A and B are shown apart, each in its own frame.
Chain A
């Protein structure tokens, strides 16, 4: 008995020993043989390399006034990953947080859902950054609120408070310039994929996503630093291992003048108000001030605008809808460079040049009859006014349509009527050399090119649409016929005609172009560039907002030289003729009533009004001007869509802008009150003081904010 028990005891002993030796062998294998692999894994666990965002450069006006500056703000971030791992998917935390932040759960949810998720709200509401990154959901919060959250980490899992640098818009002199400045936000996957590998963009980068912020992102952003941090399982930082400091971004000096920008924005608003008081809808407007000698943009306003700060803490669904709502006039649309409008009578300068080119004499007399019949269609003058035989200059001053109808018909006949199917007609060619129908190349993203509705376009348009037209010619418009059979039949007839010979460039098309109507659309900036070319003797400059890049010490990194993009295809004689004619408009033409008392003898103003007819809408109001007419420096263009007549709506506003530029009060000039006392923008660049703040030229007592 004893023996068997002892035997079994021995078996047990060696069995246990074998088990423990197995463990020892396994331990040796893991630790000694494959140990290094695990050490690397442990480092991966432990070391987090985070990029430290460089301080972004300021955007300042030509005198150094900051239009975009920086400040620090306490933000609340939400970590989506932590929240999604909670048993209730974070419903509890979200509702608690929304109570604290006085927002609603739905908005919070939208904000942290990465763009591309199935239930994501459309960008820019959804989270555009890395799905692993905590999403900022509230900024500029009170520190007591932040502490309340940090004290209660158990009640607020995944919620964190941190200090971040953010953009601030000081709006000097009331200059809003929201569309020009743009905004910054987390880089999107598409942008990251498209970025140059040397750009230094990371998954977590904050980049300019519109306006100048986007255009000059690489210059403004600086170089991000890198920090190697030791972290624990929860991602809490337990120490720093290494650091590569960040390099602050450069400053962008723009050609804008904040004072002028403020004036132009207010005057555009005044023009809108004026139009509305005359029962026009005035649903949008644009104003542009260019330096005609180099294409620098001195001011550019778009109406309606918005507060650029709304981008800072991400958009709610409601905010975004407001930005793109038709009822609000689509505030997000930058009308000076993206809005397309019929140029109306402002186009007549192009017609004049085209007429001269085709051999029609500048000195001749042209019949301004109440109406003219071309190809058996009757085209009437504006309000059927008649001036009899007049010069081209007078025709421009009083904006006589019938004179230009006849010229258009003449050119149409000369260029082969509708028998020629391809190639550009003389009007289209001339318009193109004025920069119309093509991108101006301004240093802003997403510009519209517009188009000249000439022969070439007509044919191309037919190629694009003939299938639809011919189909409609057969089937008609049954859906419209239910409501309005007569209109449906009209539409069908139109489709039948277009299907058969929609490619033909008819006399009526030429007549439409001659007064800037029909298929021709332009941006207000294109009009300003074209009038600048008339003013400066025929040079087409690429409009530029950037004047220079300076570093944080004020050293010039890069100067933006004027860029010539073309020459107007007409003679100096014609341009000088145009300048003189347009100068007459303010004396005894369509804008004469605007300028009583204005010292036109010292500052002659060249101007051209336009009143564009738009199907189903009120007319587009245009006023294109430059000054001084004899030695031009500034071009000022204002447009109000559904705004009535050019002079009536924009005239008084344009006058105010010139008064501000030159320091005019009543009929006297006070240079000390002028924005540009010497009649020209600043030549020198602002400097930067030791704190990194710009020293504002002409305002020695004032310091800008960093």
Chain B
């Protein structure tokens, strides 16, 4: 507790220090700029995909404004988080974790059903998606656990690994209840990456992979999946099964992306987009706007920015001063990369539709704020390290 207080006073000191230039140079501005570029590009794409429908409702800029508002709130969160010592974050990791679990329970109790999943809570005109914030808190709590002091040992103690798995399992089960399979898969992938980098025995990794595979087989056999999930998978395996039903989304997204060619139809010129042929376009299928209007070149920029951010985060992990920092950075990298892969993969009809947003680009406040919160934590870790 006294340590936390000391940290709090050190934040105060830092903020009040007039030497601003040195202050900012410590942060990985390339990472920030890449994420900011993606967010702003997302704003353009969101605008393009919604200007017609929102215009009909009276304000063509409605979703653009909301996206920029989300980004602003995200940047504020990022700024705050970047000023909070990682030690404080570590100390409060269990609190964050419990808070996010409360959010998940709340969503199950009072949540709103959208597209067959109960993932949103309506708060004062906004909808909050607690699972997005859970992603941050899980990364932080897992990093905290796995980086526990273990002296000369190369590997985390098995008990710690088991506790970590249990800690991850609780939110995973809660999210499965919504059900939001995409997020669960992404969390499991992140957990695996963090475990791997934390140095656990390869037997753990092999064991987890085989458990995962058999679990999937079991779930499919037992019919635990919601009907809409089965429909999506069926549609993925056989896209022509129901061209106006489940596979309609994917098909229309594919047409939009395909018709973009090398350079696209130009911003606001996409007929698939302007005609609103792609459902859920501003969220899950935002990549199809880029595909249609910006073409191969524009869409590649999104992919390359994602890759750049991932590499940058992995570099931060590599040079982290302690295992906690490394694990948080790896967790963030896994989150952004895996979720991006899931999202773009389903846009390109490589993966089944799992309803996860494209990091930074998709419209959605919870996702945007959680991501920037995570970036803020990373910035602080890295800056702390560089200062020393």
Contact = CB atoms under 8 A, between A and B. Distances in A.
Interface of A: 1, 4-6, 8-9, 11-13, 16-17, 19-20, 22-24, 26-28, 30-32, 34-39, 41-43, 45-46, 230-234, 238
Interface of B: 52, 153-155, 193, 196-199, 252, 254-262, 271-272, 274-277, 291-292, 295-296, 299-300, 303, 306-307, 310-311, 314, 317-318, 323, 326, 330, 333-334, 337-338, 340-341, 344-345, 348, 350
List of 3 A-B pairs having minimum Cβ-Cβ separation, nearest first: A38-B258, A232-B275, A42-B259
Given A5-B197, A27-B299, A41-B255, A17 B271 contact: no
Contact of A27 (B292, B296, B333, B340): B296
Contacts of B326: 5, 9
7 contacts: A5-B197, A9-B330, A11-B196, A13-B311, A27-B348, A45-B255, A233-B275
A45 B277 contact: yes
A6 B315 CA distance: 10
Contacts, number: 142
A19 B52 CA distance: 34
Contact of A31 (B155, B291, B314, B341): B291
A232 B303 CA distance: 29
A135 B205 CA distance: 63
A12 B196 contact: yes
Nearest to A23: B344
Contacts of B307: 16-17, 20
Binding site secondary structure of chain B: helix
Contact of A43 (B257, B271, B348): B271
Given A13-B311, A16-B310, A46-B275, A39 B258 contact: yes
B275 A45 contact: yes
Contacts of A20: 303, 306-307, 310, 337, 340-341
Contacts of A38: 254-259
A30 B253 CA distance: 11
Contacts of B291: 27, 30-31
Given A20-B306, A35-B259, A232-B276, 4 more contacts: A13-B310, A23-B344, A27-B299, A231-B275
B255 A4 contact: no
Given A17-B307, A31-B260, A46-B271, A23 B341 contact: yes
B148 to A, nearest CB: 14
B258 A23 contact: no
A8 B196 CA distance: 7
Contacts of B199: 1, 4-5, 8
Contacts of B314: 9, 12-13, 16
Nearest to B154: A1
A30 B275 contact: no
Nearest to A27: B299
A190 to B, nearest CB: 28
Contact of B318 (A6, A19, A36, A37): A6
Which has the most chain A C-beta neighbours within 10 Å: B257, B260, B275, B296? B275
Contacts of B255: 38, 41-42, 45
A9 B317 contact: yes
Contact of B261 (A5, A35, A231): A35
A312 B323 CA distance: 81
Given A4-B199, A42-B271, A31 B299 contact: yes
A234 B276 contact: yes
B196 A24 contact: no
Contacts of A12: 193, 196-197, 314, 330, 333-334
Contacts of A23: 303, 341, 344-345, 348, 350
A232 to B, nearest CB: 4
A43 B337 CA distance: 34
A73 to B, nearest CB: 27
Contacts of A4: 154, 199
Contacts of A28: 296
Which has the most chain B C-beta neighbours within 10 Å: A6, A13, A27? A27
